[in-house]
């Protein structure tokens, strides 16, 4: 089992940057595929980015590709999301998710593919 805690959200002007972190408990972080999702008011939770267990591959939603970068530091049990060129439509609560995997190439883009979630961190982008 793993527990996840997101941090790094806040208020930023359009065009600005934020870096989100997701700290994971436990000693087997490298056995988890990880993902970032977000949920705006009145909308369903949507996929943002995913990364395989050892960080060898990354995947992005079309809406964030080229602006956001997902990464992980398995030695620090931490997942990151670097968000640049932020837009008002990026405003949402951002969640990290984890799935225990035995396949180092596994990644998930659907929220039902993840077993563990953090509490979320609010990102607000003003115009």
Split at pLDDT 50, 70, 90, the class of 1 is confident
Q: Give the pLDDT confidence of 9-67 residue by residue, as tens digits.
A: 999 999 999 999 999 997 799 999 999 999 999 999 999 999 999 989 999 999 999 99
CA triple 125-111-58, angle to 5 deg: 75
Give residue for tokens 């990464």: 71
What's residue 59's pLDDT?
97
What's the burial of 53, exposed, middle or buried (CB within 10 Å: 0-12/13-18/19+)? buried
Q: Which two tokens stand for residue 24?
A: 């994971």
Strand order in the sheet with 4-7: 4-7, 18-24, 78-83, 68-73
Q: What is the pLDDT of residues 93-115, one digit of tens each?
A: 999 999 999 999 999 999 999 99
CA distances from 102 to 59, 79, 105, 112 (A): 19, 19, 9, 18
For 83, other C-beta atoms within 10 Å of its C-beta total 26
Average pLDDT over residues 69-98: 98
For residue 49, give every residue at least 6 positions away whose Cβ sits within 8 Å of its Cβ, in sequence order, or none: 35, 36, 58, 59, 60, 61, 64, 68, 69, 70, 81
Predicted confidence at residue 51, as pLDDT, reads 98
pLDDT at site 27: 75
């Amino acid at each position: 089992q793993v527990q996840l805690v997101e941090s790094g959200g806040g208020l930023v002007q359009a065009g600005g940057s934020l870096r989100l972190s997701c700290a994971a408990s436990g000693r087997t972080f490298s056995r988890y595929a990880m993902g970032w999702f977000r949920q705006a008011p009145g909308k369903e939770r949507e996929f943002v980015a995913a990364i395989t267990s050892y960080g060898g591959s990354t995947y992005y939603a079309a809406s964030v590709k080229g602006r956001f970068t997902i990464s992980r530091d398995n030695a620090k049990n931490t997942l990151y999301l670097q968000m640049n060129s932020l837009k008002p439509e990026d405003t949402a609560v951002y969640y990290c998710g984890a799935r225990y995997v035995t396949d180092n190439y596994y990644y998930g883009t659907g929220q039902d593919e993840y077993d563990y979630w953090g509490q979320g961190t609010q990102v607000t982008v003003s115009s």
